[in-house]
Structure 1
Amino acid sequence: MHDIRAIRENPAAFDAALSRRGDAPLSAELLAMDEARRAKILAAETAQADANKAAKDVGAAKARGDNEEFERLRALVSEKKAQIAQLNDQAKAQATGLTARLAMIPNLPADDVPMGADENDNVEISRWGTPRTFDFTPAEHFDISAVKPNMDFETAAKISGSRFVLMSGAVARLHRALAQFMLDIHTVENGLTEMNTPVLVRDDAMYGTDKLPKFAGDSYQTTEGMWLISTSEIPLTYIAAGDTIDAASLPRRYTAHTLCFRSEAGSAGRDTSGMLRQHQFEKVEMVSVTHPDESDTEQKRMLRCAEDLLERLEIPYRTVLLCTGDMGFGARRTFDIEAWLPGQNAYREISSVSTTGEFQARRMNARFKPADGGKPQFVHTLNGSGLAVGRCLIAVLENGQQADGSVTIPTALHRHMGGKTMINADGTLG
């Protein structure tokens, strides 16, 4: 959410930042709405002052026995009260309209975010690892012999429709091991507090984390009006909603492993094979609530937490800084980590680490008390995948595949797999 006062103070800067996202200038429209709202408030205050004066004069007229003036003034007070109520209602409606308009405007990009139209304009920051050279043509995950017995799309479609998968045996266990591995590293080494969150949330939580109203079509809603989360960023971030936090307790760092649900609206025809783009998937999420002065440093720390997981799993990856045209609605800066998938001969996103600044905090009124005792300020919120479990599974399977159809399991996962080191070509653990 944007601060109308900041727009009022520097409309040119607001429009310039929007233009970097490829959006048209909006300050004139917003300030006109704001001016209309403020005019109604001023008119209500003026009418209130007139009513207060008339109310005093009513008593004076009655005291001197001037019944005609008494009745006129009493009628005027009644008229002013009705006028005030109407003006207040109009001001409230205009304030609601302004808030609704502001809620549809994306966050402003940080100054260091590169200009660009789409993913082709993202800037590569670094690479880690060298993609393996195969002496055979590497298969995509769903075509690997070791995987086929344990990854069933047809039965999943019978149960739930397209974009679902039924995993079993060794693949299901490897998927579970990956989530456990991620949580262990985050909680034991990275200092995150593990949370077990609801996956059904209310409108307020969706709105506060910028998923409503703009992206209602991307999520699933129950008949009772609850929303299935698309990421545990939503419940983890909303923990701070309405709170005023002591600065000394910042940053607050959380992690959670949850089911996630996305309708994938607008993605028809994209990544239809395999489990790269599913309606239901699992993710280990990282969320930080920080002091504004620390948010940029915190984003870099979170990025390293995610990169380190891939390095331990021996998955080559590259890190890119998203351009203004490819960045998400609520982000002011986003780094994507893209894992190498030899079956696709391409790097594909496995984590996004974003800072929203105070954008979400304004929407959910999350503040902190400065150490010097000054006026409460909005916190900054950050989120990042640490990692997308299903996509990480794809990367492990494709990078570990062997010529005979088996899959070598990364050393970092052996203890989570009961000491097993591979999935045999027939789908059993070995």
Structure 2
Amino acid sequence: MNTFEQHESGVRSYCRSFPAVFKQAKGATLTAENGTEYLDFLAGAGSLNYGHNNPVLKQALLEYIEADGLTQGLDMYSSAKEYFIDRFHKTILKPRGFNDYVIQFTGPTGSNTVEAALKLARKVKGRKNIIAFTNGFHGCTAGALSCTANQHHRGGAGVSLNDVSRMPFDGYFGEKTNTIAMVDKLLSDPSSGIDKPAAVILETIQGEGGLNVASAQWLKDLRELCNRHDMLMIVDDIQAGCGRSGDFFSFEEAGIKPDIITLSKSISGYGLPMALTVFHKDLDVWTPGEHNGTFRGNNHAFVTAASAIDAYWTDNLFSNDIKAKGKLLRKRLSRIIDRFGPESLKLKGRCMMSGIECPSEQIAADIVKASYEKGLIIETCGNRDQIVKCFTPLTISNEELERGLSLLEQAFTDVIGRLEAAAAS
């Protein structure tokens, strides 16, 4: 560990929870240098929905490299890009009613596609203000960070984060409070102090913010609100998209059509850097090169992304399998809750983006530590890091899923048991 501790910046974070040196990965398993195997319930923070070194995607990539396929193409045309665009349009966009939407290849990070979406919305509407929501997370570059709610991340900016109005997400004030009505009231009042926004940006399932789920009705009402107040609707599907909710897009269940969609993380399918901003062609007012980035032409990512679409999204089989695993996951999490504290623990999230809210950040951290000691990689999220978050590869087998959840239950047994013993003494 001395190499990392002496020469790598203290900004590193995940390695502090999982202090092993990993050298191999396959499917849902990570292997350390000493041969210890760990089940992966983190999946590259959602960038490995199809697992580590997925054999179908790996074979396509190896064949492309062996044939001296283009690696870096900037935004020039290439056969790999052409095939991806064709497959993404015909298999993902067109069947879901997005036939008249275009694809922008941004710099290869989630933050960059968010930056592009915000810049485009402001350019189209000629306004600066953006509405973002409590507990939302959209990235750590300045523009994206202005829409991010997390105090810890915002504190690292070093500059003012302006031109964003924060509004309450669905359920922020409890189930009985209509937060859409609150936003409508503020936007309708010329003396509310809220400048007319160009757009709203949201996650339908807030990942880092605590697995908070927007209801289908809330999303429909927000879509109507955007229409009523001439605002664009940006859905950040970077973490919840690419199948994590059971559908390719997380908003499909609500039957809405965002104006702009941001995608990254698992869009490449293989963990390769790639990001897209998808929007209605009427919004395509960019001039050439107005938003660019050297590595927006990662052709290796185009190859694996197209392979993932061909392998998993040409029919409903994969989607149905994800939903079945989501039910299994939530059933087992509910069992843990019933066993260790139905009054103090809470089920969060939706489908394969679910977890357990604990009474405190320390309890959640202790469960993560105990899980790691048993061979399970799992992390926390939430406004106080109080939620243990299950984020497995979507291709995980039922046996692996059950085994990992048993390890998690054992970790709860250890941690809650110690707490009960301490309380009794």
The TM tier, using the shorter chain, reads: under 0.3
Structure possessing the higher radius of gyration over alpha carbons: 1
TM superposition score normalised by structure 2: 0.23
Asked which structure has the greater RCO (Cα within 8 Å, sep 6+), the reply is 2
